[in-house]
Amino acid sequence: MAAIALACFFLTNSYLPLQSGSAKLSNAPFFYLVALPGLFSLFIGYLLLRHRTIDSRTTIWILYLLLISILEEIAFRLLLPLAILSSTGLIVSIIISNSVFATIHFFTLRWKLVNCIGAFLGGLGLSRLFYVTEDLALIILVHWFFTFLNTPSPPRDLMTHK
């Protein structure tokens, strides 16, 4: 994911789209300053209700999911569609970008086609939401929420089975 985000960043004139996509965050940061710890607290509460242990590994996992959400949204909702937009048009660039997004998730979501289809459809929904709101920070928060719902706990350690 990071490699795709970096490649798109360097292959496109990404400063202006990033600036435009984060304008709402810059203009009204209070919402995001409340939403970010609010979501984090919601995740912790959910895990506690499920009688899960909240430790540093769990906290790092939740923050990792946020980082992945940031990278994926910058790459697949903003930069990759922008990189191919001039040669394909808006709809095709969104479909191609979400196809790449879904294909990568085929490998990261337990090698199941149904997960790949879900990632593609979810990506289309996030693309639509981004197109309507032009709010990259909001899209990142939505992505983080659904990624947590899909994988609320870190993968088990193969050595310790924790």
For residue range 108-154, what is the model confidence (pLDDT) as tens digits?
766 778 888 999 999 999 999 999 999 999 999 999 999 999 888 88
Q: How many residues does the chain have?
A: 162
For residue range 76-99, what is the model confidence (pLDDT) as tens digits?
998 888 888 888 889 999 999 999
Please indicate whether residue 11 or residue 122 has the higher confidence score (pLDDT): 122
**Helix runs in the chain, H state only:** 2-11, 15-21, 23-27, 29-49, 56-73, 80-88, 90-108, 113-133, 136-150
What is the domain partition of the chain in residue ranges?
Answer: 29-150
Local confidence band at 159 (pLDDT 50, 70, 90 cut-offs):
very low
For residue range 22-31, what is the model confidence (pLDDT) as tens digits?
778 888 889 9
The pTM (predicted TM-score) of the whole model is 0.85
Burial class for 97, CB neighbours closer than 10 Å (0-12, 13-18, 19+)? buried
Please indicate whether residue 109 or residue 61 has the higher confidence score (pLDDT): 61
Burial class for 144, CB neighbours closer than 10 Å (0-12, 13-18, 19+)? buried
What pLDDT, on a 0 to 100 scale, did the predictor assign at position 39?
A: 98
What pLDDT, on a 0 to 100 scale, did the predictor assign at position 51?
A: 94
What pLDDT, on a 0 to 100 scale, did the predictor assign at position 112?
A: 78
Q: Name the nearest CA neighbour of 70 among 122, 121, 23, 136.
A: 136
